Amino acid sequence: MNPSYIPADEKHGSYWRKTASEVLKSKLKETLNTNKAKNGIMFIGDGMSLATVMAARTFAGQMERELGEDNILDFEKFPVTGLARTYCIDAQVPDSACTATSYLTGVKTKYGVIGLDGNVTRGSCFSQLHKANWSPSIGQWALAKGLDVGIVTTTRVTHASPAGMYAHTSERNWESDSDVPDECLSLGCKDIAYQLITTNPGRQFKVIMGGGRREFMPNITKPSTNNTGRRLDGIDLIDLWHEDKVSINATHQYVTDRSELMKVFNSNDLPEYLLGLFQNDHMDYHLKANNQPTLEEMTEVAIKMLSRNENGYFLFVEGGRIDHAHHDSLARLALDETVEYAKAVKKAKELTSEEDTLIVVSSDHAHTMTVAGYPSRGNDILGVVDTANGDDGKPYTTISYANGKATSFDEHGRIDVTLHSQFSSGNLDYSYPSLVPLDSETHGGEDVAVFASGPWQHLFTSSYEQSVIPHMMAYAMCLDDNSHENCRPRSRRAFWISSGLNIKPNKYYIVTLSAVILLVSGMYF
C-alpha cells in the first residue's frame, strides 16, 4: 500500500483521539426531541445496501478529487441509525412489493404482493377483493388526520415501492389493465394505475411525480404527444385525473418535463394538485437524462406544495433506479443514483426543521454487490484492486456481484477486465463482473440501515422488523391511537405551562382544579 495516500494528520494518534472526543461531546449534548412531528418524510433508496452506501460515499468523494473513504453522504450525518430486517413472510430474500407493504403499511406479507396481508395468494383476484386482507398505508393514516400526502419516485409511479402507498393488489405486475388476466378483470380487480387515479387514498394525493406515463394512456398514439399507452380499456387516466379535480373545483396541473415542472415551481400561484409523469417508462438515469427533473428538484417542489397545509404532510420519496442499475450490474450508475438520492435528502433537510419534521431514510432491500480485495486508500472505487492480482495473475475489480449479467469467466478462464474497452473508458453501460451468470442480478437478504432525524428520532435505534418503521413514524406524527403527550392540541396544554405549575394535567389535577373553580364560584354567587 502506498503510504503517500495517507493524510499527514491521520498518522498521529492524537488526530483519532481528538476526532473521537468531538463525536462523544456531540453525542453527550443530544437531548430527546419529543415534539409532535407535524411532517413526516420517508426516503427509500431502492436496493441501497450498506455496501452501496459505502461505495457511493467513496465515489462521491473521489468525484471531488478526494480520497473518498472519509467522505460522508448527507443522510449519514443523521443522529440516529438502526437496522431493519427485510424478509417476506414466505421468502428469505425479499422483493420491492412485500417490503413496500412492510415499511408503508406496517404489515409483512408475501413476495410480489402489495397492500395486502399474508392471507392472500399471489395473483388471486379473490384475495385482492377481500377487504379484510387490505392493509392501509401510512399515507392513508395521514389523510385521515387532515394532512396532505405526496409521492415522488424515479421509477414508474405504479411500480412496487410507490404503489405501496395506495394500492391493494395480489400481483405487483398488474400496473395496467393490459397486465391483468381477463378473468380477474371480469371479477372486478383493478390495476394499480386505475387504483391510483380513481380510488382513495391515491386520488387524494396532492403530489404525484415520477415515470410510467404509458400505464395511464390508451393503446393508441396521440398526435399531440406521439406517445402510445398500454391500456386496453380505452380509458385515459390522465384525462380522468383532470376531470376528477374539476369535479371538486380544485386547481391542478399536469406536467411532462423539467421545464414545465420548474414553471409550476416558480409560479406565485401553485396548484392544489400536481401530476408529473416525466417518462413513458421509468425515468432516465441521472447521467443519461435530458430535460428531466432530478430527484432533488422533485423533492423540493413536493415539499413546497405540501407545506401549505397547516396540519402538516407525509411525503414518500424513492430513489428507485439504484435498484435497476444493480440488476444490470451497472455499478457506476448505481453509485451515481445513490449520490443523487443523498442530494434529495439534503434538500429536504434544508427545507424543513428538525423541530417539527421527522425524516427517515432507509432502503427496501439489499443487493449482491460487494466491495472486496485490499485496495489502497484512495484507490478508484470503480477500478481494479491496485495491490495484487488474483492467483491466476489477472487483475480484478474492487466492486463485483455475487450473481448478475456479466460473467467473470469464458473458455480461457477468468476474464481480464482491463482488456475490456468499456471498463477502461469508464463507460456507463459496463456491467461489473459477477460469479453466477444470470439474466438479472438478484436482491440480497441482509439487513438495511435506517437513518432518522427529527422528533422521536431516538425510536429508530437498534434492530427491528422493517414493518415497525411506519408505526414509529405514526407515533411521532400522532397518526394512531397510541398517542404521546405532545399529540394534544397546544391550547389544552397552555394553561399548565402559563400557570407556572410544574405538573401534568392528569385526572387528579383536573378534579382538584374543578373543585377550586366551584369553590371560587360559590364565593361570588
* pLDDT tens per residue across span 166-212: 999 999 999 999 999 999 999 999 999 999 999 999 999 999 999 99
Whether the CB-CB separation of 357 and 39 falls below 8 Å is answered with yes
Whether the CB-CB separation of 105 and 92 falls below 8 Å is answered with no
Paired strand residues for 274: 207, 253
Mapped onto helix, strand or coil, the DSSP state of residue 263 is: helix
Q: pLDDT tens digit string along 13-51?
A: 999 899 999 988 988 988 899 999 999 999 999 999 999
Quote the pLDDT of residue 509. 42
Binding residues: 46, 159, 161, 318, 323, 327, 364-365, 443
Quote the pLDDT of residue 70. 96
For the segment 46-67, the average pLDDT, to the nearest whole number, is: 97
pLDDT at 461 over 60: yes
Binding residues for Zn(2+): 46, 323, 327, 364-365, 443
Binding residues for Mg(2+): 46, 159, 161, 318
- On average, the pLDDT of the chain sits at 92
Structural domains of the chain ordered from first start: 32-368+442-485 (3.40.720.10), 489-524 (no CATH)
Whether the CB-CB separation of 219 and 228 falls below 8 Å is answered with yes
448-453 and 366-367: which strand pairing? unpaired
How would residue 491 be classed by pLDDT, with cut points 50, 70 and 90? Answer: low
Torsion of CA 192, 193, 199, 200, to 10 degrees: 80
Q: pTM here?
A: 0.92
Whether the CB-CB separation of 22 and 395 falls below 8 Å is answered with no
Torsion of CA 42, 43, 47, 49, to 10 degrees: -100
Mapped onto helix, strand or coil, the DSSP state of residue 102 is: helix
Distance separating alpha carbons of residues 259 and 126, to the nearest angstrom: 44
Run of H or E including 362: strand 357-362
For the segment 60-76, the average pLDDT, to the nearest whole number, is: 97
Q: pLDDT tens digit string along 258-290?
A: 999 999 999 999 999 999 999 999 999 999 999
Catalytic residue status for 483: no
Whether the CB-CB separation of 319 and 363 falls below 8 Å is answered with no
| Range list of H helices, 106-145 | 125-129, 138-144
Which residue carries 472505487 as its cell? 381
For the segment 372-377, the average pLDDT, to the nearest whole number, is: 97
Per mean pLDDT, which range of 218-222, 341-345, 357-361, 436-440 is the poorest? 218-222
C-beta neighbour count of 272 within 10 angstroms: 15
Task: Using alpha carbons, select from 45, 49, 27, 43 the residue that is nearest to residue 358.
Answer: 43
Mapped onto helix, strand or coil, the DSSP state of residue 301 is: helix
* Cα three-residue angle 184-187-190, rounded to 5 degrees: 65
How would residue 398 be classed by pLDDT, with cut points 50, 70 and 90? Answer: very high
Mapped onto helix, strand or coil, the DSSP state of residue 45 is: strand
Quote the pLDDT of residue 284. 98
Q: For residue 213, what are the CA distances in angstroms to 72, 260, 277, 303?
A: 35, 16, 6, 23
In sequence order, the 6+-apart residues with CB closer than 8 A to the CB of 199 are: 166, 190
How would residue 121 be classed by pLDDT, with cut points 50, 70 and 90? Answer: very high
Distance separating alpha carbons of residues 218 and 64, to the nearest angstrom: 46
> Computed over its alpha carbons, how large is the radius of gyration of the chain?
26
Full 3-state SS string of 445-498: CCCEEEEEECCCHHHHCEEEEHHHHHHHHHHHHCCCCCCCHHHCCHHHHHHHHH
For the segment 312-340, the average pLDDT, to the nearest whole number, is: 98
Q: Which of 49, 96, 135, 137 is catalytic?
A: 96
Quote the pLDDT of residue 4. 60
